[in-house]
Structure 1
Amino acid sequence: MGFPVSLRVDDEDVPVARAADAVFAWLREVDARFSPFRADSEVSRYDRGDLERHQLSDDLVEVLDLCEHYRLATGGAFDVRLPGRGLDPCAVVKGWSVQRAADLLTAAGAQRFVLNAGGDVVVSGGPWRVGVRHPEHADKLCTVLELTDAAVATSARYERGNHILDARTGHPATGLLAMTVVTPTLTEADAVATAAFAMGAEGIGWAASLPGCEVFAVDGEGRVLRTGGFPAVRGSTAAA
């Protein structure tokens, strides 16, 4: 899916190599099954009409249901089917698949670990400190979080440019510079961060209203807005 993955496991009694092998085997399987850039993937076959809905795997049905949930919840700002483009559920698949990988680690007995997938992070145990990159200065952090048994995801323009579109207009979403979301699972954190970014400035309040969701956002004017429960280390937040 085009993002680096790193894993740290601090449990002495866990067979780390075996657990890591299971994690990366699962992520390779996800890439093969759900990548819209592979002609033989389940996603591509479904998009071409080679598969009917009732023929899909339970996993893809779950992903598509999540995509539809966020399309409806954002009033259509988030949509994995854009005019002139094929089905691309990557914005949901990433967080969903990495959370599944974290669940594999837990099932293997790991209680203290960090799984980082392209800057989106799941932690078990803790506390762990996780830095959030400044949206305009690559060598700086805009805040540092302290997390225990949680997940954090950020959507921004600094890595891939204006790649997130507001599906209501078909134009790039430019109302925010960055949106960071903390929730209990990366499935939710990643999807909410992307969906809120697609909504623009109104996405801040929408994300903040969701149960168990803490938000740190930098709007188009460089103003920092965050919820009261956002787990930033005291004194770590810098002005954007």
Structure 2
Amino acid sequence: MSVRRVEQIMGLPISVDLRDGDDALAEQAFAWLRAADEQFSPFKPDSEVSRLDRGELTREELTPDLVEVLSLCDWYEESTGGAFTARVPGRGLDPCAVVKGWAVQRAADVLRDGGASTFCINAGGDVVVAGEPEAGKPWRVGVRHPDIADQLCVVLGVRDGAVATSALYERGQHILDGRTGQPVTGLLSVTIFAEDLAIADTTATAAFALGRDGIEWAAAQEDCEVFIVDEDRKVFRSPGLPVHIC
């Protein structure tokens, strides 16, 4: 049985293309994503994140899931020297850069635990896939050209893994350097391929926050492959990137 559904969650469209499951299993994945949004959104006053930010909770009172998310935030902040941070100067606690990829990867785990082996979850262009949509063929994941909206700059062929991109073309200068609180310059697009979407998504955002220094930093991250376009339109691609050849 095949199921295809789209819902607006976390402020973006999330689609599930499930090739070997049913509506009930897809609903379990979406239910998890809705619950994660309620728990981790800094824009919902009753969320655990908002309550922590207001000082209503101590670190010892947090759920294990939020402790895990904050630990990831701390690791990337330390690794980037503060360029990536969940606490940008002048703003409250906002772990969204970690939460989206982490939550969608968990949704993929829900599908796997339910017996699914062939699916694609697309969260606003960040993708986690499993199996092959057709025998002998990978899922094809296109990366949008940073300047031309209706063109792709690369297509990846992925069977089991995740692809995430941080770029300026959807939301403009929305990524800030945590060290200065100012918009980042130097890069136009950072795409990361990894086994886990939490790693791919957070690494892409952290690399972008570092500006040009993010190219070398991202390439050095274990089990990550990169495709990066800088402001001069120069492309940096790691040799292990699974580029799809038509």
Tell me the TM-score normalised to structure 2 length: 0.93
1:175, distance to aligned residue in structure 2 (A): 1.0
Residues in 1 aligned to 2:211 and 2:89: alpha-carbon distance in whole angstroms:
20
1:174 to 169, 174, 185: 185
Equivalent residue number for residue 14 of structure 2: 5
Identity level (%):
60
2:68 to 53, 62, 65: 62
2:123 to 113, 117, 122: 117
1:24 to 9, 16, 30: 30
Equivalent residue number for residue 165 of structure 1: 176
Which secondary structure state, in structure 1, belongs to the residue aligned with residue 42 of structure 2? coil
Tell whether the 8 Å contact from 2:126 to 2:165 is kept in structure 1 after alignment: yes
Equivalent residue number for residue 129 of structure 1: 140
Task: For residues 100-146 of structure 1, give each alpha carbon's deviation from its aligned partner in whole angstroms, at most 9, with x where no partner exists.
Answer: 00000000100010000010000001211111111111111111000
2:93 to 83, 87, 95: 87
Equivalent residue number for residue 232 of structure 2: 221
Residues in 1 aligned to 2:124 and 2:60: alpha-carbon distance in whole angstroms:
33
1:234, distance to aligned residue in structure 2 (A): 3.2
Residues in 1 aligned to 2:107 and 2:41: alpha-carbon distance in whole angstroms:
17
2:202 to 184, 191, 203: 191
1:86, distance to aligned residue in structure 2 (A): 0.4
Residues in 2 aligned to 1:74 and 1:196: alpha-carbon distance in whole angstroms:
8
Counterpart residue type for residue 191 of structure 1 = T
1:22, distance to aligned residue in structure 2 (A): 0.5
Which secondary structure state, in structure 2, belongs to the residue aligned with residue 37 of structure 1? coil
Residues in 2 aligned to 1:169 and 1:220: alpha-carbon distance in whole angstroms:
20
Equivalent residue number for residue 207 of structure 1: 218
Which secondary structure state, in structure 2, belongs to the residue aligned with residue 207 of structure 1? helix
Tell whether the 8 Å contact from 2:89 to 2:180 is kept in structure 1 after alignment: no
1:204, distance to aligned residue in structure 2 (A): 1.1
Gaps of 5+ in 2: 1-9, 133-137
Equivalent residue number for residue 100 of structure 1: 106
Alignment of 1:144-155 (within 5 A): 144-155=155-166
Gaps of 5+ in 1: 236-240
Residues in 2 aligned to 1:173 and 1:129: alpha-carbon distance in whole angstroms:
30
Counterpart residue type for residue 105 of structure 2 = Q
Residues in 2 aligned to 1:170 and 1:220: alpha-carbon distance in whole angstroms:
20
Residues in 1 aligned to 2:222 and 2:160: alpha-carbon distance in whole angstroms:
16
Which secondary structure state, in structure 1, belongs to the residue aligned with residue 149 of structure 2? coil
Deviation >4 Å, runs of 4+: none
Which secondary structure state, in structure 2, belongs to the residue aligned with residue 4 of structure 1? strand
Tell whether the 8 Å contact from 2:165 to 2:189 is kept in structure 1 after alignment: yes
Residues in 1 aligned to 2:245 and 2:117: alpha-carbon distance in whole angstroms:
26
Counterpart residue type for residue 18 of structure 1 = A
Task: For residues 164-190 of structure 1, give each alpha carbon's deviation from its aligned partner in whole angstroms, at most 9, with x where no partner exists.
Answer: 001112111121000000000001000
Tell me the TM-score normalised to structure 1 length: 0.95
